[in-house]
Chains A and B, each alone.
Chain A
Amino acid sequence: MIEVKNVTKKYGDFTAVDDVSFKVEKGEVFAFLGPNGAGKTTTIKMLTTLLRPNSGEVFLDGHNVTEDPDKTRKSFGIVFQDPSLDNELTAYENMQFHAILYGVPKKEYKERIEKLLELVELTDRRDSYVKNFSGGMKRRLEIARGLLHNPKVLFLDEPTIGLDPQTRNHLWNYIRNLNKEEGVTIFFTTHHMEEVDRIAEKIAIIDHGKIIEYGTPADIRAKAGTDNLEDAFIALTGKDIRKEEGDVGLSQMRVSNKMMN
């Protein structure tokens, strides 16, 4: 479903993603892990046509991502790390806008929006402005929106950041059902290792822009010789907090990212 071949992305002198290759099979739940600033978001942006790699190739649902971005864009849905809703529109209007952008026919989207709003339990708030929503509600709406055009792959970039355990639990249940029932391939990043342990089938760990580990959760635990994934993660990526970790390094990276544009 997703194939990444020798992809490199540089911001000036800084190599954010360094010769990365991996594969995600159809219908898989794939966790893409790594410390802050390791290159997760940059990789997702390259997979979703927002950034062009300096070298290497990316294929998604059979489309070459850099050469055929428009076709690729129909094949995936994405929930970004930070919110991307229009606060001045209602929940329904946000969904409708998305449907129009993706060319979903009116008859179909009317029905589907209702269904999805029900799925994320926002039906009673469909006509409220998004600016009055809580963080969890916005996330749920974003997930519903990401699914509106029947994507084959759903990207979730730290979808549970800042959510309480109840909402997180809820969210992963939806996602798992979705994967089971509709066969949507799930590609997600998170810092909550217990979530990974619970739902991921395959894991790739990226650090300093390179894939350092790839396999099932059990493989990775066995390799690190630890009981749980959290310890395995720390054993594999090291205990110390890296220079480029934390908000400062991350925002610096994003600033230089902006300056490049």
Chain B
Amino acid sequence: MWLRQLKRYVRKKARIVGALGQPILFLFALGFGLSPIFQQAGGIDYIQFLAPGVIAMTVLFTAIFTGMEIIWDKQFGFMKETLVAPVSRFEIMMGKTLGGTTVSVIQGLLVFFITFTAGFRPESYALLPVAFLFLVLIAFLFSALGTVIAARLDDMQGFPLIINFVVQPLFFLSGALFPLDNLPSALTFVTKLNPLSYGVEGLRYSLTGASYFSPFLSASVLVGVTVVVVLVGMYQFSRIEV
């Protein structure tokens, strides 16, 4: 399962490049466009601030999309082949999720190297393994979320809905683009409910040394939410009938 996902990933070169387009755009357009304002406002280097956010964004999008590849499998009938095989539904789900995780981590690493060309430098190289850990956590959580959503949907028509009501809000309300302190209280509330906020902050902590949440809080929230999502996924998958 996992191998198949990787093979498919490697074969879609166009998609790899395409998926890099958005983060690059955000990084350069927003990064260079807004950095003068940030400099004036508080002397923060916006590129330093934004880079972890953009990496998290890449992982989020890739993870959810790969998770949702299950919809294609359903539409093209391949899902049935996996469902009649003597493997448990849980294994099918985990295979999909791990495939998605691996693909998104690779994608995240690619963007990480791209941020260097924009002038980003991690604060401490010793913390890079921690950053990698957060990358994996984010990737796993959202791949699992993608598979759970896809288990409910039968065709691609629900796709724009998911983009607009799940993926975009997760991203924009996460502190990937702006600092979480001193926000209006309603926005603070929403961002604190958003699991991606903790992912972004965890990544930011390990890459830049500063963050809004403590890294332990971030890690525990990510793990906690992941467990919930996986449990929901197990239930959903046990009920799939074709």
Contact = CB atoms under 8 A, between A and B. Distances in A.
A88 B242 contact: no
B154 to A, nearest CB: 5
A261 B81 contact: no
Given A51-B241, A83-B76, A89 B84 contact: no
Interface stretch (A71-79, A112-120, A181-189): A71-79
A73 B81 contact: no
Given A50-B242, A86-B4, A78 B77 contact: no
Given A50-B242, A89-B7, A93-B7, A101 B76 contact: no
A73 B88 contact: no
A51 B239 CA distance: 10
Interface string A76-99: 101010111111110001000110
Contact of B85 (A83, A93, A102): A102
Contacts of A87: 76
Given A70-B88, A86-B4, A101 B82 contact: yes
Contacts of A49: 83-84
Given A102-B86, A103-B86, A258-B154, A89 B80 contact: no
Interface of B: 1, 3-4, 7-8, 11, 76-88, 154, 239-242
Interface of A: 45, 48-52, 70-71, 73-74, 76, 78, 80, 82-89, 93, 97-98, 100-103, 145, 258, 260-261
17 contacts: A48-B84, A49-B83, A50-B241, A51-B242, A71-B86, A73-B85, A73-B86, A74-B86, A78-B84, A84-B80, A85-B77, A86-B76, A89-B7, A101-B82, A258-B154, A261-B239, A261-B241
